[in-house]
Chains A and B, each alone.
Chain A
């Protein structure tokens, strides 16, 4: 009987009567039991003390001049100051591109289309119900969109602009706060101009994507690419890599022409998303050439270098990782052994040692005529290392997929390649978005190792270099510069992680 008598204590008894909500909340969350109350009092004292010290540090005792004066060192390192227009153009172009995608996907996806080529009988979407033919048709007509913006935005359809702005603020507040912090530290007007230009480019791109007919949009993009091709014909894009000038020019022009033609062709047959992806792929190549032409990439530094290393390595390791995962799951024993050995080898060793080795011992593994630059070495290590982790994540996604999906695809007569790329991979990758983004975040954070291992002046190394020069030498200012750098990395990581959670919700992972 004692057991039954004890039972009600475990149930939260609703407080009757007109008790203020704050009081109820406080009683539940702060003073549930006497011990809880004591914890609350102690925690309040500690929190108040920490808050007070933090406030003191940020607004009174902190000597932030070192950050203010060295802001450009933190952001771009020793990048040639006369060539800074290149990264600025790159930032504007990326902002405009994202704007176009957002604007495009807001208007053009009112009718929900299957986000992946999954063989499912979806009762809410009659187009996929008509048996195999309809499914194959859907797969053939609408290749899986590579960007999440394509997925239906039904959830916030019909929101007023103000609501949307508030929503945006809640979503991106760390990023916005970080940018505002940087702007508040700026001593010249240039950062303000760049930030304003970025907002304008994103807004312009949004309007373009939303209100201009898609054909016209694609014509503009194609024209831009042709201009880029002409530019590559004029400059010598790869000379800093040691490629002969004629080969470099030819490569640039052929790539530009091919992708421009593909984009135009896809636009003509109304594969707008595919065309936009083509423009994006080629655009990033064009930006890479723009950024490195005449500057190379060995003198980069600061936050720019961390972002650049992360972006390039992510772009390269992702396909390699997917291939390795497919290989590890393959029915062919030799392929499986090779892939498994690669993955386990790279997952078992520290990245830092690999980077050290790349700095010292990589020269031994290539013919003596080639001496790869340090950035090239770093990218190679990051790519090879992260690919092993990506492979394990993708393998998890592949294993989570019901066998029925593959069997259904086979029953419909899809070839092995089509089954893999249109049925299996889109679903498997969707399931592992959070883990994948987590891996990319840790890659972004790991780019700080290049400072210690290869002697780059990246953002973190800059935090020490700043305290060692001029008037700031020997004043113990690391207590200011390192937290500032931490904050910048935090902004980058938390933004990626929050956006991945949002993407996950939008794609309905785990809910269907």
Chain B
């Protein structure tokens, strides 16, 4: 079997025009050259057009006073544009983060409802998902904001009140919130979760050693509740309820109509997509897994929680991560209804003599950065959950 090798030796290297490596690199360099040419042509055009119109192509505009207010924010006209961009990014994050949490909760609920044994629940969830998934997000946003919030919501005097939990009217909505440092509260909750996780580990070890039921939730949840309650009391947190006082609402946290509209639209739309993913992932778990759980006489809850869901989650995480990315990117549509997010700030800035190309380039880069952070987080989470092959 050495014949080919000998032949190879005799022939030596092929001529240049038939050498695969030479051809490959020539082709690659040609393509890269074309790309470089295209980019430099585009950039040259930007330069010459900007020179002609006497527009700056650098990022100096960021230090100039903005000269425009941001809707729904206490941003002042004379603050620099860089502050406006930061405020816009924060608004985007406020919208996307709240949307992400709510869409996940509603989506998982709907996805499970889609597989319910109850005909009415199953069909209702199906109607909802199949309708909302197949309409444009923007139409939903217009419907909720223009046709519901701005049309149906009452004047401040006749606000809808929900027994101290929420006050809704056309000017803005107030929801009960807490007084005190949000960051510290998050820290307390994280501490509680860590403690619960530790307790869970301890219960699992005990269960594995003794064979007794682990009853993780029974031990871990009270620990967590205890820590959070203690933190709430020690930190001096109080619940701040919104109250209607004639024309004005005091207390609680205020959501502008644009924020509420954008949040509702994003949550409803994304949850319908997440519901489909959850349903598909649960159905993708081999049917034998559920049957095996039945054969082991696991209860319905145990079957779902310990057998089906962990395997379904593994399938569902990457596509749900994609939905998170979509939600974050779709939050830019809130600019259409004048929510002061990053997109709106850029639009306002460009309308107020910021140079268009660098301003939009910066916005795109920021969105790209946020996307990368989200996909990084999803990837890390996914890797932790991934099946460890033998």
18 residue pairs of the A-B complex, CB under 8 angstroms, read A30-B120, A47-B124, A334-B28, A334-B31, A335-B28, A348-B372, A349-B367, A352-B335, A361-B356, A361-B360, A363-B49, A364-B46, A365-B357, A451-B138, A452-B138, A479-B143, A479-B147, A490-B134
The answer to the question of B35 belonging to the interface, with a C-beta cut-off of 8 Å to chain A, is yes
> Is the Cβ of B142 less than 8 Å from the Cβ of A463?
yes
Question: What residues of chain A lie closer than 8 Å to B142, measured between beta carbons?
Answer: 460, 463-464, 478, 482
> Is the Cβ of B135 less than 8 Å from the Cβ of A490?
yes
Question: What residues of chain A lie closer than 8 Å to B347, measured between beta carbons?
Answer: 356
The answer to the question of A357 belonging to the interface, with a C-beta cut-off of 8 Å to chain B, is yes
Give A469-490 as 1s and 0s: 1 = Cβ < 8 Å from B's Cβ atoms: 0000000101100110110011
Q: Which of B113-147 contact A (CB under 8 A)?
A: 117-121, 124, 130-131, 133-140, 142-143, 146-147
Question: What residues of chain A lie closer than 8 Å to B368, measured between beta carbons?
Answer: 345, 348-349
CB proximity of B379 to chain A, nearest CB, Å: 13
For A452, give the chain B residue with the smallest CB separation.
Answer: B336
> How many A-B Cβ pairs are below 8 Å?
172
> Is the Cβ of A489 less than 8 Å from the Cβ of B135?
yes
> Is the Cβ of A494 less than 8 Å from the Cβ of B45?
no
The answer to the question of B24 belonging to the interface, with a C-beta cut-off of 8 Å to chain A, is yes
CB proximity of A161 to chain B, nearest CB, Å: 30
Q: Which of A424-450 contact B (CB under 8 A)?
A: 441, 445-446, 448-449
CB proximity of B356 to chain A, nearest CB, Å: 4
CB proximity of A61 to chain B, nearest CB, Å: 13
For B350, give the chain A residue with the smallest CB separation.
Answer: A360
Rounded to whole angstroms, the CA-CA distance of A353 and B299 in the bound complex is 50
The answer to the question of B32 belonging to the interface, with a C-beta cut-off of 8 Å to chain A, is yes
Q: Which of B243-280 contact A (CB under 8 A)?
A: none
CB < 8 Å neighbour of A482 from B29, B146, B367: B146
Rounded to whole angstroms, the CA-CA distance of A338 and B347 in the bound complex is 30
Rounded to whole angstroms, the CA-CA distance of A366 and B52 in the bound complex is 13
Question: What residues of chain A lie closer than 8 Å to B151, measured between beta carbons?
Answer: 476, 478-479
Question: What residues of chain B lie closer than 8 Å to A345, measured between beta carbons?
Answer: 368
Task: Tell me whether A460 and B138 are in contact in the complex, defined as CB-CB below 8 angstroms, given that A361-B360, A479-B151 are known contacts.
Answer: yes
CB proximity of B298 to chain A, nearest CB, Å: 8
The answer to the question of A350 belonging to the interface, with a C-beta cut-off of 8 Å to chain B, is yes
Question: What residues of chain B lie closer than 8 Å to A357, measured between beta carbons?
Answer: 356, 360, 364
Give A1-44 as 1s and 0s: 1 = Cβ < 8 Å from B's Cβ atoms: 00110110011000000000000000011101000100110011
The answer to the question of A376 belonging to the interface, with a C-beta cut-off of 8 Å to chain B, is no
CB < 8 Å neighbour of B24 from A29, A40, A332, A366: A332
> Is the Cβ of B49 less than 8 Å from the Cβ of A29?
no
> Is the Cβ of B136 less than 8 Å from the Cβ of A445?
yes
Residues of A within 8 A of B (CB): 3-4, 6-7, 10-11, 28-30, 32, 36, 39-40, 43-44, 47, 331-335, 338, 345, 347-354, 356-357, 360-361, 363-368, 441, 445-446, 448-449, 451-452, 460, 463-464, 476, 478-479, 482-483, 485-486, 489-490, 493-494, 497
> Is the Cβ of B335 less than 8 Å from the Cβ of A497?
no
Question: What residues of chain A lie closer than 8 Å to B133, measured between beta carbons?
Answer: 493
CB proximity of A397 to chain B, nearest CB, Å: 16
> Is the Cβ of B333 less than 8 Å from the Cβ of A441?
no
The answer to the question of B297 belonging to the interface, with a C-beta cut-off of 8 Å to chain A, is yes
> Is the Cβ of A448 less than 8 Å from the Cβ of B136?
yes
Give B18-43 as 1s and 0s: 1 = Cβ < 8 Å from A's Cβ atoms: 00000010011101100100000010
Task: Tell me whether A353 and B363 are in contact in the complex, defined as CB-CB below 8 angstroms, given that A348-B372, A368-B49, A452-B336 are known contacts.
Answer: yes
The answer to the question of B329 belonging to the interface, with a C-beta cut-off of 8 Å to chain A, is yes
Question: What residues of chain B lie closer than 8 Å to A451, measured between beta carbons?
Answer: 138
Rounded to whole angstroms, the CA-CA distance of A397 and B240 in the bound complex is 53
The answer to the question of B50 belonging to the interface, with a C-beta cut-off of 8 Å to chain A, is yes
Task: Tell me whether A350 and B49 are in contact in the complex, defined as CB-CB below 8 angstroms, given that A489-B134, A497-B134 are known contacts.
Answer: no
Residues of B within 8 A of A (CB): 24, 27-29, 31-32, 35, 42, 45-46, 48-50, 52, 117-121, 124, 130-131, 133-140, 142-143, 146-148, 151, 294-297, 299-300, 325, 329-333, 335-336, 343, 346-347, 350, 356-357, 360, 363-364, 367-368, 371-372
> Is the Cβ of B118 less than 8 Å from the Cβ of A43?
yes
> Is the Cβ of A332 less than 8 Å from the Cβ of B27?
yes
> Is the Cβ of B372 less than 8 Å from the Cβ of A489?
no
Rounded to whole angstroms, the CA-CA distance of A36 and B151 in the bound complex is 38
> Is the Cβ of B137 less than 8 Å from the Cβ of A445?
yes
> Is the Cβ of B120 less than 8 Å from the Cβ of A47?
yes
Question: What residues of chain B lie closer than 8 Å to A347, measured between beta carbons?
Answer: 325, 371
For A356, give the chain B residue with the smallest CB separation.
Answer: B347
Chain A contact residues, majority secondary structure = helix
Question: What residues of chain A lie closer than 8 Å to B335, measured between beta carbons?
Answer: 352
Question: What residues of chain B lie closer than 8 Å to A361, measured between beta carbons?
Answer: 356-357, 360
CB proximity of A40 to chain B, nearest CB, Å: 6
Task: Tell me whether A464 and B343 are in contact in the complex, defined as CB-CB below 8 angstroms, given that A361-B360, A367-B45, A445-B137 are known contacts.
Answer: no
Question: What residues of chain B lie closer than 8 Å to A493, measured between beta carbons?
Answer: 133-135
> Is the Cβ of B143 less than 8 Å from the Cβ of A486?
yes
> Is the Cβ of A352 less than 8 Å from the Cβ of B332?
yes
For B333, give the chain A residue with the smallest CB separation.
Answer: A352
> Is the Cβ of A365 less than 8 Å from the Cβ of B45?
yes
Question: What residues of chain B lie closer than 8 Å to A363, measured between beta carbons?
Answer: 49
Question: What residues of chain B lie closer than 8 Å to A483, measured between beta carbons?
Answer: 143
Rounded to whole angstroms, the CA-CA distance of A365 and B45 in the bound complex is 5
> Is the Cβ of B139 less than 8 Å from the Cβ of A489?
yes
Question: What residues of chain B lie closer than 8 Å to A43, measured between beta carbons?
Answer: 118, 120-121, 124
CB < 8 Å neighbour of B147 from A11, A30, A350, A478: A478
Rounded to whole angstroms, the CA-CA distance of A331 and B20 in the bound complex is 12
Rounded to whole angstroms, the CA-CA distance of A441 and B273 in the bound complex is 13
> Is the Cβ of B120 less than 8 Å from the Cβ of A360?
no
Question: What residues of chain A lie closer than 8 Å to B333, measured between beta carbons?
Answer: 352, 449, 452
CB proximity of A388 to chain B, nearest CB, Å: 12
Rounded to whole angstroms, the CA-CA distance of A486 and B46 in the bound complex is 40
CB proximity of B4 to chain A, nearest CB, Å: 15
Question: What residues of chain A lie closer than 8 Å to B363, measured between beta carbons?
Answer: 353
For A33, give the chain B residue with the smallest CB separation.
Answer: B117
> Is the Cβ of A486 less than 8 Å from the Cβ of B124?
no
Rounded to whole angstroms, the CA-CA distance of A312 and B251 in the bound complex is 52
> Is the Cβ of A32 less than 8 Å from the Cβ of B135?
no
Question: What residues of chain B lie closer than 8 Å to A36, measured between beta carbons?
Answer: 117-118
CB < 8 Å neighbour of A360 from B138, B330, B360: B360
Rounded to whole angstroms, the CA-CA distance of A353 and B42 in the bound complex is 19
Given contacts A348-B325, A351-B329, A364-B356, could you give 9 more A-B pairs where the C-beta distance is less than 8 Å? Answer: A30-B119, A40-B119, A334-B31, A348-B371, A356-B346, A464-B146, A478-B142, A485-B139, A493-B134
Question: What residues of chain B lie closer than 8 Å to A452, measured between beta carbons?
Answer: 138, 333, 336
Rounded to whole angstroms, the CA-CA distance of A1 and B302 in the bound complex is 18
CB < 8 Å neighbour of A353 from B46, B143, B360: B360
Rounded to whole angstroms, the CA-CA distance of A449 and B151 in the bound complex is 23
> Is the Cβ of B42 less than 8 Å from the Cβ of A365?
yes
> Is the Cβ of B360 less than 8 Å from the Cβ of A494?
no
CB proximity of A409 to chain B, nearest CB, Å: 17
CB proximity of A221 to chain B, nearest CB, Å: 35
Question: What residues of chain A lie closer than 8 Å to B29, measured between beta carbons?
Answer: 334
